[in-house]
Amino acid sequence: MNVLNYTTRPASWQIGSHAVQRDELLEEMLNTLCTEDFLEANPELDQKEVLKALIAREEMRTTAMGHSIAFPHARLEKLNRAFLAVGVLPKPVLFDTEPVQIVCLILAPASEPATSLKMMAHLSRLLMDESVRQQVLEVSDPETLRDLFKKHNSRIDKSITARDVMRPPRFSVQETDRIAICSHLMSVNGLQAVPVVNSEKKITGEITVDRLFRYGLPDFFAQLKSVSFIAEFDPFEKYFEDERDILACDMMMPDVHTVSLDYTLMEIVFDLTIKSVVQLYVEDEEGRWVGTIDKSTLLDNVINY
Amino acid sequence: MLLPILVFLLIYFFIATEIIDKTIAALIGAGLMIGLHFVHYEDALHAIDLNVIFLLVGMMVVVNTLTDTGVFEWLAIKLARLAKGNGLVIAVLFMVLTAVLSAFLDNVTTVILMAPITILLCQLLEMPAVPVLIMEAVFSNIGGAATLIGDPPNILIGSQTHLSFNDFILNMTPPVLVIMVLLLGVMALMFRKQMRTTEQTRKRIEQSRPEKAILQPLVLRKAVVVFGFILAGFFAGRLLNIEPGIIALAGAMVMVLVCKKDIHHSLAHVEWNTILFFAGLFMMIAALEHHHVFEKMGELILQLCGGNLMATVLTILWFSAIASAIIDNIPLVMAMIPLVKGIIPVFAQQMGLEDAALIQAQIAEPLLWALALGACLGGNGTLVGASANVVITQIANRNKCPITFWSFTKYGFPFMIASLFVAHIYLYVRFFM
């Protein structure tokens, strides 16, 4: 299959929206996409419900993935086949905190969950290419936009890999950061793990919540069957007071789970669920950190999308 | 005869120095002995004492079932409350608990159970954990000597010489009790200043909730009942003519069944490396026996002791103790048993005894009790003398309570000498006065 099979001419190729807000933009794109033909083909579909579903998905977690790209999408019971609309904006619109200029809006029937994931995978792969992205941003009419996508043989039967589901790098600490900074960063942002990155953007280790606690707690704690029999004793201040000034490089665990961009979805699911890895770090060919995959990314991409 | 001895000494070197993991060393050694045809494979297999293996596996399953219930934490916190938070009394009671537990459980298991709760309570009471931990290792070795199932040397001696569980209770428990009382007194004198607790820390013990320590009350109740039956089985073993190994193993399976434990989980927690270590050693010793090595060594000892039984008994006591203080007592006892068995008929002939019961009572028993006392108590001599010492040191060091070779030996060695003097006097009074 090809992504162009899911587009309609000309409603799918939208240039020059002047919307300033995300929801306004989504509504505008839907209005263009939901032509009479479209509504006739999907008689049970309510356009307002579709908009609601799109917004609900955005509220759950933004679909912006960096590099000015976003994939607003919805799974719909009453849709007969998948649809794609591509919008290119002259001025960026904020998706959460991310400025977005290329919007790939995807509607998929609930019965075809893999289609939207594969479409997203293909489109993100295509648009991550700097030169393609530049060409898309410079397009001035819908026909040229369509030709651009047509030119890049947009088949979507390749299997999904790490590059398709990863999230761009966000939180990290440096080797010389103090642990107090790491634990603050993790608690403020609700992180389970944070990578330790060197000056070349390469990951040298990882600090997890579990590690932070295990490092401070004495070993005998782990040997006890329970501690409920002690009613009044809080030695934690003492246990953790020495910990605050330790450097990240001294506490980090060096065996980080790094994977290549081509790591398959099957392998990712296996590592995160069966092997209980907290977070996978995706590296490019030079070993630089380019993305992160954790369980919630997986939920977004495999179950909730 | 020389080659098998050389192989044995080489493997023994690796076991003693721990350059290679002892299980790997023992099994490679067994492979060499059989591969080089120093012993027939069939004979080597027959030498593996399944009674010992079954006893070890059975007791490991029993301990794991009991441990999961949280009963050991409960016992410890109960004792701490009984002592009303008085540090010295707690230390003394913990030593008694350690000794009693090791009399029925493996020493290493006992210290693994005791060490974490001991460190926690010492932090709670703000008193030093190191001396208490060292003493726990010492008392686990002493308590282990009291019964047939308390320590591997006793298990081996019991299994290979037809001494029953009750024989151990009658002959080993009394001297062990005397040693304990004596050493508890010494310990209390030594540590009376270090173990002082304040009112504030004692309050923490007062406020503890021992009942919360029991995680599986129903399982615990059932397990204790089955454990009681297993112990009764040990006591009645001689009467019923059932060996302890099968009592422990079958009893453990009853416990797993009654407590609705997952058998895979229970068996996964058996220390198979220890079990295979025993199997490897048994096969290696079989090769030496095949070449009559121990008979020759027995003759040598007899010559050294001038054919005097009392001198031989006391030599065995002190020799096995000093040797156990330096090297692992399991291979030592495995090698000493055939040696002792070899010299029994020589003494019988010399003393003109023909009645088997008399030979057992007057010659075999003093020799074997000397071996058991020496091998068990000798473990306290140095840090590396017993696995329990090594394990407690590892736990202590991981918890910022450093124990060094000398800080252990400083207490362990004099305690060993004192306990050996008691054993020496006991053997003399009991058999030669």
Give the DSSP H/E element, type plus range, for residue B301.
helix B293-304
Q: What's the rounded mean pLDDT across residues B104-130?
A: 91
Tell whether A235 lies on the interface with B, counting CB pairs under 8 A.
Answer: yes
Reported as a single tens digit per residue, the pLDDT across B259-292 is 999 999 999 989 899 899 989 999 999 999 888 8
Reported as a single tens digit per residue, the pLDDT across B361-390 is 899 999 999 999 999 999 999 988 888 998
State which residue of chain A sits closest to B397, comparing Cα positions: A219
Helices within chain A (DSSP H only): 22-33, 36-41, 47-60, 113-127, 130-138, 142-151, 162-165, 179-189, 209-216, 220-223, 236-241, 248-251, 265-269, 295-298
Collapsing DSSP to helix, strand or coil, B304 comes out as helix
State which residue of chain A sits closest to B210, comparing Cα positions: A229
Joined together, the tokens standing for residue B11 give: 């493997």
Rounded distance, CA B28 to CA B23, Å? Answer: 9
State which residue of chain B sits closest to A221, comparing Cα positions: B116
Contact B308, B32 (CB under 8 A): no
Tell whether B204 lies on the interface with A, counting CB pairs under 8 A.
Answer: yes
Q: Which of B116, B207, B212 sits opposite A220 (nearest CB)?
A: B116
Please answer yes or no on whether B400 and A218 come within 8 Å at the CB atom: yes
Tell whether B365 lies on the interface with A, counting CB pairs under 8 A.
Answer: no
Tell whether B70 lies on the interface with A, counting CB pairs under 8 A.
Answer: yes
Rounded distance, CA A281 to CA A297, Å? Answer: 12
Percent of chain A surpassing pLDDT 70: 97
Q: Which of A224, A226, A235 sits opposite B123 (nearest CB)?
A: A235
The candidate with the shortest Cα–Cα distance to B325, out of B137, B172, B155, is B137
Residues 117-176 of A with CB under 8 A from B: none
Rounded distance, CA A232 to CA A241, Å? Answer: 19
Please answer yes or no on whether A229 and B215 come within 8 Å at the CB atom: no
For residue B314, name the pLDDT band (cuts at 50, 70, 90): very high
pLDDT at A304: 55
Tell whether A230 lies on the interface with B, counting CB pairs under 8 A.
Answer: yes
DSSP character at residue B150? S
Joined together, the tokens standing for residue A280 give: 């996978």
User: Measured in whole angstroms, how far is the alpha carbon of residue A279 from the centre of its chain?
Assistant: 13
Joined together, the tokens standing for residue A258 give: 């790094």
Tell whether A234 lies on the interface with B, counting CB pairs under 8 A.
Answer: no
Please answer yes or no on whether B209 and A226 come within 8 Å at the CB atom: no
Chain B nearest C-alpha distance from A211 (Å): 16
Joined together, the tokens standing for residue A253 give: 């665990």
State which residue of chain B sits closest to A224, comparing Cα positions: B116
Mean pLDDT, rounded, of chain B: 92
In order of B20, B183, B289, B294, the CA distances from B15 in angstroms are 7, 31, 20, 20
DSSP per position, B357-372: HHHIIIIIHHHHHHHH
Rounded distance, CA B46 to CA B263, Å? Answer: 28
DSSP per position, B8-67: HHHHHHHHHHTSS-HHHHHHHHHHHHHHTTSS-HHHHHHHS-HHHHHHHHHHHHHHHHHH
CA Rg value for chain A: 23
Cβ neighbour number for residue A40 with a 10 Å cutoff: 8
pLDDT at B225: 97
Helices within B209-271 (DSSP H only): 217-240, 244-258, 263-268
Query: Mapped to the 3 state alphabet, what secondary structure does A132-200 carry?
Result: HHHHHHHCCCHHHHHHHHHHCCCECCCCCEHHHHCECCCCCEECCCEHHHHHHHHHHHCCCEEEEECCC
Please answer yes or no on whether B73 and A232 come within 8 Å at the CB atom: no
DSSP character at residue A253? B
Please answer yes or no on whether B119 and A220 come within 8 Å at the CB atom: yes
Residue A234 clears pLDDT 80, i.e. is over it? no
Per the listing, tokens 């037809």 go with B162
Residue B72 clears pLDDT 70, i.e. is over it? yes
Q: Which of A210-224, A259-273, B122-136, B206-220 has the lowest mean pLDDT?
A: A210-224
Rounded distance, CA B248 to CA B326, Å? Answer: 31
Q: Which residues of B touch A239 (CB under 8 A)?
A: none
DSSP character at residue A271? I
CA Rg value for chain B: 22
Please answer yes or no on whether B74 and A229 come within 8 Å at the CB atom: yes
Interface test with A, best of B119, B200, B220 (most A CBs within 10 A): B119
Tell whether A231 lies on the interface with B, counting CB pairs under 8 A.
Answer: yes
For residue A154, name the pLDDT band (cuts at 50, 70, 90): low
Interface test with B, best of A225, A226, A240 (most B CBs within 10 A): A225
Residue A75 clears pLDDT 80, i.e. is over it? yes
Rounded distance, CA B27 to CA B217, Å? Answer: 41
pLDDT at A77: 87
Residue A24 clears pLDDT 90, i.e. is over it? yes
- Please state the pTM of the whole predicted model: 0.76
Per the listing, tokens 């129903």 go with B218
Q: Which of A219, A227, A231 sits opposite B398 (nearest CB)?
A: A219
Please answer yes or no on whether B115 and A231 come within 8 Å at the CB atom: no
Cα end-to-end distance, chain B, whole Å: 40
Please answer yes or no on whether B116 and A231 come within 8 Å at the CB atom: no
Rounded distance, CA B375 to CA B325, Å? Answer: 8
Please answer yes or no on whether B399 and A220 come within 8 Å at the CB atom: yes
Please answer yes or no on whether A220 and B120 come within 8 Å at the CB atom: yes
State which residue of chain B sits closest to A232, comparing Cα positions: B204
Chain B nearest C-alpha distance from A218 (Å): 6
Please answer yes or no on whether B77 and A229 come within 8 Å at the CB atom: yes
Q: Which of A223, A228, A233 sits opposite B212 (nearest CB)?
A: A228
Mean pLDDT, rounded, of chain A: 86
Tell whether B68 lies on the interface with A, counting CB pairs under 8 A.
Answer: yes
Contact A30, A158 (CB under 8 A): no
Reported as a single tens digit per residue, the pLDDT across B150-190 is 999 999 999 998 899 999 999 999 999 999 999 999 999 99
SS3 content of chain B, % helix, strand, coil (to 5): 80, 0, 20
Q: What's the rounded mean pLDDT across residues A198-207?
A: 92
Q: Which of A229-233, B5-9, B298-302, B343-347 has the lowest mean pLDDT?
A: A229-233
Please answer yes or no on whether A229 and B120 come within 8 Å at the CB atom: no
pLDDT at A303: 63
Provide ipTM, 2 decimals.
0.72
Task: Tell me how many residue pairs between chain A and chain B have CB atoms under 8 A apart.
Answer: 67
Rounded distance, CA A167 to CA A61, Å? Answer: 12
Contact A156, A118 (CB under 8 A): yes
Tell whether B116 lies on the interface with A, counting CB pairs under 8 A.
Answer: yes
For residue A114, name the pLDDT band (cuts at 50, 70, 90): confident
HSE-CB at B143 with a 13 A cutoff on CA atoms is: 26
Q: What's the rounded mean pLDDT across residues B404-419?
A: 93
The candidate with the shortest Cα–Cα distance to A103, out of A36, A49, A30, is A30
For residue B54, name the pLDDT band (cuts at 50, 70, 90): very high
The candidate with the shortest Cα–Cα distance to B136, out of B164, B165, B97, is B97
Contact A84, A149 (CB under 8 A): no
Q: What's the rounded mean pLDDT across residues B129-145?
A: 95
For residue A81, name the pLDDT band (cuts at 50, 70, 90): confident
Q: What angle do CA B282, B288, B292 make, to 5 degrees?
A: 130
Reported as a single tens digit per residue, the pLDDT across A3-21 is 788 888 788 888 888 889 9
Percent of chain B surpassing pLDDT 70: 100
Per the listing, tokens 């990240």 go with A248
Residue A210: partners with Cβ closer than 8 Å, 6 or more residues away: A278
Contact B302, B355 (CB under 8 A): no
Reported as a single tens digit per residue, the pLDDT across B317-347 is 999 999 888 877 888 898 899 999 989 988 8
Chain A nearest C-alpha distance from B209 (Å): 4
Joined together, the tokens standing for residue A255 give: 């065996």
Rounded distance, CA A14 to CA B268, Å? Answer: 63
Q: What's the rounded mean pLDDT across residues B189-202?
A: 88
Contact A103, A29 (CB under 8 A): yes
